[in-house]
Amino acid sequence: MTMDLIFWCHAEAEDWTEGCDDMQRSLTARGEKQAKRMASWLDRQLPDGTRIICSPARRCEQTALALGRKYKLRPELAPDTTAEALLGAAGWPNGKSVVLMIGHQPSVG
């Protein structure tokens, strides 16, 4: 069995402003609608048992919540991550399941 790795970038978020905590930025109203639409489509495509891992940033967790499945927050998916950290968190290439990663541009874009 091969491993399937799916990348999902968080939906539209509030703009970053000087002095704001990037990890606390929320989705916009439009972003919440985007997340729900994409989650509805993804939910029909993802097999049961898909492992879902998510950046600890608020906007990513809000995107994950739209899917309505269990997920785990992983610091390896934070905005300043590396490709190596992302793949390590997923268990690539030796994993045996489908993994959905919810993260940020440019690392999952």
Query: Tens digits of per-residue pLDDT, 74-88?
Result: 999 999 899 999 999
Whether 89 is covered by a domain: the verdict is yes
Whether 15 is covered by a domain: the verdict is no
Whether 18 is covered by a domain: the verdict is no
| pLDDT at position 54 | 97
Domain hosting residue 43, numbered range: 4-9+25-103
Q: 29: domain CATH number?
A: 3.40.50.1240
pTM score? 0.92
Whether 87 is covered by a domain: the verdict is yes
Contact 50, 98 (CB under 8 A): yes
Whether 76 is covered by a domain: the verdict is yes
Instruction: Give the integer Cα–Cα distance in Å for 109 and 90.
Output: 16
Whether 17 is covered by a domain: the verdict is no
> Rounded to 5, what percent of the chain is helix, strand, coil?
40, 20, 45
